[in-house]
């Protein structure tokens, strides 16, 4: 038993020295269960509203937001291939519902933000017309320090409390299954964009 204990201690020390140990969570990210993304994580800090505004403007603006328009900006030349992939993976009806749900998410978030008198920034960042840069900013917003998590990205977009309220509103309008599918498809789309643009955890494009 004593030998096993010392072996475990030695292994832990080796992992720490070589950098193999579990990564430290980023600031304001806590190890707390989420509704759709498993046991970790929740972002408790201030929202990245300039990125959120960039995403909304890329989709047509607060009054005319359209998820398909946003995806065309984000994916650029990869758009048709990505739509085909998501349709094959999830089905035409599920992708159509995802688009409807995403449209609702933005409209509902703006409604809640307005009611709470949360002021959006005057200028977006990054440029809403720069798809790769916006994809990189959203990818970075979903990082926990260990991995990408779509719920952390959504927490950073509007704050965790507003994200939770929006999820409850999705449940009321479309049902829990549509809510779960929305998170699943968005996760896949973001991972596909990260692969297409060779993004690192900071959202920066890496040369191949």
Answer whether residue 131 is part of any domain. Answer: yes
pTM above 0.75, yes or no: yes
Answer whether residue 1 is part of any domain. Answer: no
Q: Domain residues for 58?
A: 24-197
**Summary mean pLDDT of the chain:** 90
- Is 187 a residue whose pLDDT tops 90? yes
- 7-33 pLDDT, tens digit per residue, is 344 444 434 443 444 469 999 999 999
Answer whether residue 203 is part of any domain. Answer: no
Answer whether residue 76 is part of any domain. Answer: yes
Answer whether residue 202 is part of any domain. Answer: no
Answer whether residue 35 is part of any domain. Answer: yes
d(CA 100, CA 96): 6
Answer whether residue 88 is part of any domain. Answer: yes
Answer whether residue 43 is part of any domain. Answer: yes
- 162-183 pLDDT, tens digit per residue, is 999 999 999 999 999 999 999 9
Tell me what pLDDT residue 4 has: 39
- Give how many domains the chain has, as a whole number: 1
Nearest to 197 by CA among 98, 129, 128, 130: 130
């Amino acid at each position: 038993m004593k030998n096993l204990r010392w072996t475990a201690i030695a292994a832990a020390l080796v992992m720490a020295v070589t950098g193999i140990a579990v990564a430290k969570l980023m600031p304001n990210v806590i190890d707390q269960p989420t509704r759709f993304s498993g046991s970790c994580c929740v972002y408790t800090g201030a929202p990245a509203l300039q990125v959120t505004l960039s995403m909304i403007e890329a989709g047509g603006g607060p009054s005319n937001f359209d998820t398909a328009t946003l995806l065309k900006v984000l994916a650029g030349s990869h758009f048709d291939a990505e739509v085909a992939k998501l349709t094959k993976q999830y089905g035409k009806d599920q992708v159509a519902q995802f688009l409807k749900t995403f449209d609702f998410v933005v409209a509902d978030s703006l409604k809640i933000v307005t009611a709470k008198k949360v002021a959006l920034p005057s200028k977006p960042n990054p440029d809403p017309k720069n798809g790769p840069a916006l994809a990189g900013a959203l990818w970075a917003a979903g990082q926990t320090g260990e991995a990408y998590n779509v719920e952390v990205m959504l927490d950073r977009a509007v704050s965790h409390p507003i994200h939770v309220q929006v999820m409850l509103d999705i449940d009321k309008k479309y049902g829990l299954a549509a809510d779960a599918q929305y998170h699943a498809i968005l996760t896949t789309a973001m991972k596909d964009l990260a692969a297409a643009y060779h993004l690192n955890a900071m959202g920066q494009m890496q040369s191949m």
